[in-house]
Structure 1
Amino acid sequence: MDYNWNWAVLFEEQYLSWLISGFGWTVSVALSAWCIAIVIGVLVGVGKTVPNRFIRAICATYVELFRNVPLLVQMFIWYFAVPEMVPDDWGRWMKRDMPNPEFVTAVVALGLYTASRIAEQVRAGIETVPPGLTAAATAHGLNVSQTYRYVLLPISFRMIVPPLTSEFLTVFKNSSLALTIGLLELTAQSQQIAEYTFQGFEAFTAATVIYVCIALIATILMQILEKYTRIPGYVGKEG
């Protein structure tokens, strides 16, 4: 294959600025979606374990709905369908007047989708706590909310740091789907560079390197967090 390699094109002012801009949008989407996912995911995950059947049913429905519908479909629904389903004034605002509608849509869709996955991690973490600890909390006079606050959540959150690391990395990878609704994040900018310069290998290699660097940094940070939150000698079951 006679391919004309030209790595210098990536350092030309215009294309370098595109990569930097795409990196910025990728990080912004991923971190914003992660904040939404953590808050909602924890609430839903806890809701799936509470004694109230109605709350458990609502939370289980949320998880099954958002986790089993492909993220790409959810982005299309939020971007194209939802503005047509709400009242006309709201729809016009979402399509015309809302600042950065592509960014907002990507954050909402990715955040709600990831929340359904985090909810399952939280649920699993809570259910891994030995029932003897819950019984001991009840015996000491703690009510349900106090048991969650002082016993279940502190232990379960420390146990689910490793799987949360995987979800955190997945958020960055899934943010690339935002290009399908017009957000010029890192993958979209790389594609644009390839179309302008016909240097596709260089453009997507640069994107790959950036994604790998993001993953390595995130992994190191989460490993440090895991080190400081690990429960010494705890094996997640009753002896």
Structure 2
Amino acid sequence: MVALAAVIAMATCLLHNTLTNMHERGVQSGYDFLSQPAGFSISETLLAFDSSDSYLRALAAGLLNTLRVALLGCVLSTVAGTLIGIGRLSRNVLLRSLCGAYVEAVRNVPLLLQLFALYFILTELMPPIDAALHPVAGLFLSKNGLQFPLPKWDAGYWGAFAGAMAAAAGGCAWGIYARRKREMNGHRLPVFVPLILIAIVCVGAGWMLGGAPHVIDAPRRTDGFIDGGAAVTPEFLTILIGLTVYNAAFIAEIVRGGIQSVPFGQHEAAAALGLGRTLELRFVQLPQAMRVIVPPLTSQYLNLTKNSSLAIAIGYPDLVSVANTTLNQTGRAFECISLVMACYLTLSLVTAVGMNIYNKRSLIKER
């Protein structure tokens, strides 16, 4: 309590001195500018935004762009890092060597340099839009970014969404039932195939009940341009791929270290029971390794979220980029920086709380 009171007192004193000095020098302060028209546009945003909208809406659009990159980056880097970390422990010499070379190469090159190199590839080495790469049906890759098919929204898709929610609930129920059966009598029920079947049946039934909408807005080449479908810019691809590739190398080492922390006797016990490598990883090593994996993984997620601010270097309109433009136009440096700090602090605390909850649930209950 004493330490908390001291921190609050120090922050209060710092804020008072800052506001006093700004007032003496005639520097405007306050957050009233948030309701004023921004006067600039944002090239890429999930939130509809126009230059006549307020600064507050502009900052919200930048925050959504940061969240989009951070969430996708966390998911993709976790999947890639887990596979690479397991690959580093493979008995296959070639696979083990390739995974090790990837980790050592990526971790020792600064992220900003990787982003510059990747941005150069996507904007200079890719063909122009009239000669866009067409690797598979519906996908076009060019200097303008990636364009891909997207279903046209229809009210009937609410049925498919409800089916997906029902599938998630049914999958959780089946997983709990299978685990309890295994704990009670050692009988292992299949999990993956039933989950796929539940998802197909529930989503399919919801889709049929919703009228079976099936109109797909697919991009197509017309007169030197690509019309239709959805698109992402080279800037978004650069920051997403860069964060994924960079953080996957660190997560791979976290996973590898976690698996190697499991006592070797557990491997011998699994081998004595006749478990294959996949089953051993799934039921023996990874559940015990999670106690070691989750804490540093939390730190890596926080680093990924904060590293997304490097997007300003390649022109992606994230929170920092929008706040920097707002600062230059309004001159409210203290206010803009404090808003950015508050947003990143909130994101970090939410991530930490969520991972701590997961960490407590993943702990092995000792008897």
**Which has the larger share of strand?**
2
Give the structure 2 partner of residue 198 of structure 1.
331
Whole-angstrom distance in 2 between the partners of 1:4 and 1:140 = 73
Give the structure 1 partner of residue 120 of structure 2.
80
Whole-angstrom distance in 1 between the partners of 2:102 and 2:278 = 22
Give the structure 1 partner of residue 106 of structure 2.
66
Checking the alignment, whether the CA contact within 8 Å between 1:48 and 1:56 is kept in structure 2 is yes
Shift of 1:233: 4.7
1:114 maps onto 2:247 in alignment: yes
Whole-angstrom distance in 2 between the partners of 1:211 and 1:188 = 14
Deviating more after overlay: 59-68 vs 142-151: 142-151
Give the structure 2 partner of residue 95 of structure 1.
143
Whole-angstrom distance in 2 between the partners of 1:206 and 1:11 = 14
Note the residue ranges of structure 1 that are not aligned, 5 or more in a row: 235-239
1:227 maps onto 2:341 in alignment: no
Residues 165-190 of structure 1: CA distance to partner in whole angstroms, max 9, x if unpaired? Answer: 11111111000001111111010011
Residues 93/54 of structure 1: CA separation in 2 closer, same or farther (3 Å cut) = closer
Shift of 1:54: 1.4
**Which has the larger share of helix?**
1
1:156 to 279, 286, 289: 289
Whole-angstrom distance in 1 between the partners of 2:259 and 2:298 = 18
1:131 to 264, 274, 287: 264
1:50 to 90, 94, 97: 90
1:9 to 16, 20, 33: 33
Rg comparison, structure with higher value = 2
Whole-angstrom distance in 1 between the partners of 2:70 and 2:295 = 18
The higher-RCO structure (CA 8 Å, 6+ apart) is: 1
Checking the alignment, whether the CA contact within 8 Å between 1:83 and 1:90 is kept in structure 2 is no
Partner amino acid, structure 1, of 2:64: G
Residues 57/90 of structure 1: CA separation in 2 closer, same or farther (3 Å cut) = farther
TM-score, normalization: structure 1? 0.91
SS at match of 1:160: helix
Residues 58/87 of structure 1: CA separation in 2 closer, same or farther (3 Å cut) = farther
Residues 97/146 of structure 1: CA separation in 2 closer, same or farther (3 Å cut) = closer
1:171 maps onto 2:211 in alignment: no
Give the structure 1 partner of residue 79 of structure 2.
39
Checking the alignment, whether the CA contact within 8 Å between 2:254 and 2:293 is kept in structure 1 is yes
Partner amino acid, structure 1, of 2:307: N
Whole-angstrom distance in 2 between the partners of 1:118 and 1:46 = 11
Give the structure 1 partner of residue 203 of structure 2.
none
Shift of 1:4: 2.3
Whole-angstrom distance in 1 between the partners of 2:77 and 2:141 = 25
Whole-angstrom distance in 1 between the partners of 2:35 and 2:92 = 58
**Aligned residue pair count:** 234
Whole-angstrom distance in 2 between the partners of 1:46 and 1:177 = 29
Shift of 1:231: 2.1
Shift of 1:87: 6.6
Note the residue ranges of structure 2 that are not aligned, 5 or more in a row: 1-20, 37-52, 134-139, 147-231
Shift of 1:227: 1.1
Residues 41-61 of structure 1: CA distance to partner in whole angstroms, max 9, x if unpaired? Answer: 000000111222211101001
Shift of 1:82: 4.9
Shift of 1:196: 0.9
1:22 to 43, 55, 62: 62
Question: Over aligned residue pairs, what C-alpha RMSD do you find?
Answer: 2.0
- Taking every aligned residue pair, what percent have the same amino acid on both sides? 37
Give the structure 2 partner of residue 217 of structure 1.
350
